[in-house]
Structure 1
Amino acid sequence: MLDILLIITFVILFVKFFSWLFTPSYRSGYGSWPSSTSVTVTLPHPEKTNPYRFYKYIEVTPYITLKEVRKELRRQNILLKPEYEKALNDKIRRHVFHNPYTFDEYFHCEFDIIGIRFLQCSPDKLSAFRIDLCYLKDDKIADLDDFDFIPPYPYNHKRKYLEIMDEYYFTPQNIYASEFEDIWKWYDELGKSLNQNLVAVWDDEIFTLRELLRYHEITDYHIRYIRVREIARAHNMPDKLGPLLRHVEADFGPDRKKSILAAILAFSIREMGVDLEQHVHILEPEKDLFSDLPTEEKKTS
C-alpha cells in the first residue's frame, strides 16, 4: 500500500483569526491567538495521488494556507507537475479554483473497498453527525471524504452535540447542516458508491448506518459489507486495532481514522490470502422496515 500523503509543517507569523479558523489540521484551545504558529498540513502526495484528489485539495483548501504550502514545497525542493503548479498558483491568485473532474466521471463510482466510520455524540447510533469514507482503488487510496449531517431530535439539542459543534465547527450554519437522507440522495460519493462497492467497517459501524437508513425511511440500498474485526477473529488474528496493524504490517500513513484503517486492514488481510467474499454480509431493506422500531423512533412526516 503506497503512502500517498505528504506531511508539511511550516510556521506562519502573525496568524490572524481568519487563517487560524480555516487552516486544516490545526486546533488549539480557547484563549489568545499566538503570533507564531506551527501548522501541520496533510496533502495528497503530488507524485503518487490521482489528479481528482489533488485538484480537490486545491479547491477546498483556503488560499492563505496554500500560500504557505507553496513556500514550504519550494523550501523542500518538491517539484509539482506543471498542471498542479498552475492550479496551485491560480487558487492563490484568484482565491478560487474548481476541480475539472467530478467524482463520478473520474472514478465511475467503482472501487475495490470503501472504508467507513461514523462520529457520534452519544452511544446511541442515531446521534451520529458525520460519516468518514476512505476509497481504495488499484491498491491505493483514491480519495478521502467526510459528510456532516444533523442528527434527529432530540440529539441535535443535547449538550454533548452542541459542545462538539462549538469545539470543532464554531458557526451555526455547520450545526444546522443537511440531514442524512439529503446527502445520501445528493452525493454519488455516498449512496451510489456504497451500493456499488464492497464496504469495510472495523466492527459495529454498519449498525449505525442501518439505523440511519431506517430512521430516514431510505429503501434504495443493497450494501455488501465486511467487518474487519470479525474476519480477524475468524482467522486467528489479533482483534485489537494496534496488534492487528502490526500483524498485517499495514502501511496506513499518518492518518489513523477508522475509515482509513478499516479499508487498509481489509486490503492487507486480502493480500495475506484471505478471501473477503467469504465474509460478506448484506444490508438491505427488510419487508417491514420499521416493524422492530418503537413508534417514537420512527421518522415523523
Structure 2
Amino acid sequence: MSWFKSNFRSNDKISITVEEVNPQTENEFRFFNFVEREQVFFLEKWFEQSKRLGHQFKPQYSDAIVQKIRTGTFSNPHSFPEYFNSEFDFIAIDFETANNNRVSACALGLAFVKNDTFVHEEKHFILPPPGEKILSSHERLHGIQEEDLEFALDFKELWDLEFSKYFNNNLIVFHNSSMDLSVLKRLFSHYKIENYSIDYIDTMRLAEISGKPKKLTELANLFEVPIIKHHDPKEDAKACATIFTELKELVPNYRDLIQILNPNLIAEKQFSRAGRLKIQNDNLDIISEYSISKKELEDLQIEGSAFLFTGELTEDREDCKDFIMGYGGLIKSTITSKVDYVVVGAEYGWSKIQKIHLLNSERNLRIRLLSNADFLRLKERYEKLNF
C-alpha cells in the first residue's frame, strides 16, 4: 500500500501535495478539503506546477483553486461524513486516558480510510467522568492538560452526536485491543450505552500471526511509517491505519479474525463445550432460515448488490471477489445493513451469522446466505450467459 507512505517521503511541501491530490479524482470532499486547508502560496505554486506538467483539472476544481487564490478563502461545500454515507473501508482509532482507570478516556483519534486512501482524520477531546483527573505521568506521555478538556463533551454525548454512526457501520481497527477495546467497554458500561454492534480487528494480533514485532513504534519503523508525535491519538490512529494496510497483505485471511462487540452477543470463549455446541446448532438454524432459495438464486442480479465472504471457499477468495466486482457487484468486509448476500464457506465466522440474524430480525432486512455450492452455481450461470 505505497500510497500511504509516499505522502511522507519528501519534505518539500509542493511535492507532497502533488503526490496526495489527484486533480481528476472523483472524491470531491477530499479535493475541496485540500483547497480549503492549503495555504494560498503553496496552492498557487502547486496549481502552476501541475498545469506545466500537463495535468488536467476538473472545472469545479479549477474554479475552487482560483477562488482561493483570488479571495484567500474557500469552504468545502461537502460535509463529513455525509459525503461518504458514513461508510469507509475501515476506521483506525486510538484512545488516550487521563489515568490508569480505563474509563478515564480523555481523547480519541480516528483515521478514516476509503478506497485505500486517507480521506479524513479527527481528534476529539473527551471529558472524563467526575473524579477522573489527569495524572502528571499521563500528561507527560500524551501532553493533554485539564484546560484542554474545559469545553469537551463526555463520551456519551459524543457517542450520540457522532461516534455511533462511525463505530456501528464500519470495521474498527485497534492496535492492542486489550487497551483500546477495554476502554471502549468500560465507557459503554459506565454510560449504560447499549446501541452498539462493532466489527473490530487488532493489528497486534495480525503482527503476531505474521511474525512481525508487536509494538506500534517497531511496526512503524519496519514499514517506514512516520509517527510525528507518539501518543497523540490522531497520529497513532493514522499510523495504525497504515500498518493495518501492510499487515493485511501478509495475512490474507485477516477477515476471519474480525470480531464483534455487541451487548447481545457473548464471546464464544466464555461458553462451555455444551454452550459452544448450542451456538453451532443455533447458527445452523440461522443458516437454514436465511439461505437463498433456488428461485432467488436464479433471479439474483450481481450488479449493484453487495456481497461479503466468510470462511474457506473451494476457490481463491480474491478471485471470487474479482468475479463479483467484474459484474458490477460490491464487496463488503463487515456485516452491516448495506450487505445483500453473504457467501458462507467452511470454518465461517460464527459471530457474523448471529449478526445477520440480528439485522434481519430487528431491522426487517433480507440478507441472504449462499453456500459455496450456491456461489459456484451463480458463477456458472453468469459465465454461460457471457460465453
Tell me whether 1:222 sits opposite 2:197 in the alignment: yes
Aligned positions of 1:38-77 closer than 5 A: 45-47=20-22, 50-59=27-36, 61=37, 66-70=39-43, 73=46, 77=49
Deviations 1:7-26 (A, max 9, x none): 7778xxxxxxxxxxxxxxxx
> Is the CA contact (8 Å cut-off) linking 2:90 and 2:112 kept in structure 1?
yes
Aligned positions of 1:282-301 closer than 5 A: 282-285=260-263
- SS in structure 2 at match of 1:206: helix
Q: Which residue of 1 aligns with 2:271?
A: none
Aligned with 1:270 (options 234, 244, 248): 248
Q: Which residue of 2 aligns with 1:140?
A: 117
Aligned positions of 1:131-280 closer than 5 A: 131-155=108-132, 158=134, 160=136, 175-187=150-162, 190-203=163-176, 204-245=179-220, 247=222, 250=223, 252=225, 257-280=235-258
Report the CA distance shift for 1:122/1:159 in structure 2 as closer, same or farther (over 3 A). closer
Q: Aligned partners of 1:222, 1:89: CA distance in 2, in Å?
A: 45
**Matched letter for residue 181 of structure 2:** I
Structure 2 gap segments, 5+ residues each: 267-387
Q: Aligned partners of 2:43, 2:12: CA distance in 1, in Å?
A: 12
Q: Aligned partners of 2:207, 2:227: CA distance in 1, in Å?
A: 23
> Is the CA contact (8 Å cut-off) linking 1:224 and 1:283 kept in structure 2?
yes
* 1:177 positional shift: 1.8
* 1:219 positional shift: 0.9
* 1:241 positional shift: 2.8
Structure 1 gap segments, 5+ residues each: 11-40, 289-301
* 1:194 positional shift: 1.3
Q: Aligned partners of 1:232, 1:173: CA distance in 2, in Å?
A: 34
Q: Aligned partners of 1:91, 1:243: CA distance in 2, in Å?
A: 41
Q: Aligned partners of 2:18, 2:104: CA distance in 1, in Å?
A: 30
* 1:281 positional shift: 2.2
> Is the CA contact (8 Å cut-off) linking 2:86 and 2:166 kept in structure 1?
yes
- SS in structure 1 at match of 2:214: coil
* 1:139 positional shift: 1.9
Q: Which residue of 2 aligns with 1:116?
A: 93
Q: Aligned partners of 1:127, 1:43: CA distance in 2, in Å?
A: 41
**Matched letter for residue 149 of structure 1:** I
Q: Which residue of 2 aligns with 1:25?
A: none
Report the CA distance shift for 1:284/1:163 in structure 2 as closer, same or farther (over 3 A). same
- Greater C-alpha Rg: 2
> Is the CA contact (8 Å cut-off) linking 2:98 and 2:135 kept in structure 1?
no
Q: Aligned partners of 1:174, 1:139: CA distance in 2, in Å?
A: 33
> Is the CA contact (8 Å cut-off) linking 1:198 and 1:224 kept in structure 2?
yes
Total equivalences in the alignment? 245
RMSD: 3.9
Q: Aligned partners of 2:250, 2:265: CA distance in 1, in Å?
A: 38
* 1:201 positional shift: 0.6
Q: Aligned partners of 1:239, 1:212: CA distance in 2, in Å?
A: 26
**Identical pairs, percent:** 24
Report the CA distance shift for 1:259/1:71 in structure 2 as closer, same or farther (over 3 A). same
Q: Which residue of 1 aligns with 2:335?
A: none
- SS in structure 2 at match of 1:124: coil
Report the CA distance shift for 1:209/1:268 in structure 2 as closer, same or farther (over 3 A). same
What TM-score results when the alignment is normalised by the length of structure 2? Answer: 0.52
Q: Aligned partners of 2:71, 2:107: CA distance in 1, in Å?
A: 31
Q: Aligned partners of 1:183, 1:70: CA distance in 2, in Å?
A: 34
Greater RCO (Cα-Cα under 8 Å, separation 6 or more): 1
* 1:252 positional shift: 4.1
Q: Aligned partners of 1:113, 1:5: CA distance in 2, in Å?
A: 20
**Matched letter for residue 142 of structure 1:** V
Aligned with 1:87 (options 45, 64, 67): 64
> Is the CA contact (8 Å cut-off) linking 1:44 and 1:53 kept in structure 2?
no
Report the CA distance shift for 1:91/1:177 in structure 2 as closer, same or farther (over 3 A). farther
> Is the CA contact (8 Å cut-off) linking 1:113 and 1:197 kept in structure 2?
yes
> Is the CA contact (8 Å cut-off) linking 2:206 and 2:248 kept in structure 1?
no
> Is the CA contact (8 Å cut-off) linking 1:44 and 1:57 kept in structure 2?
no
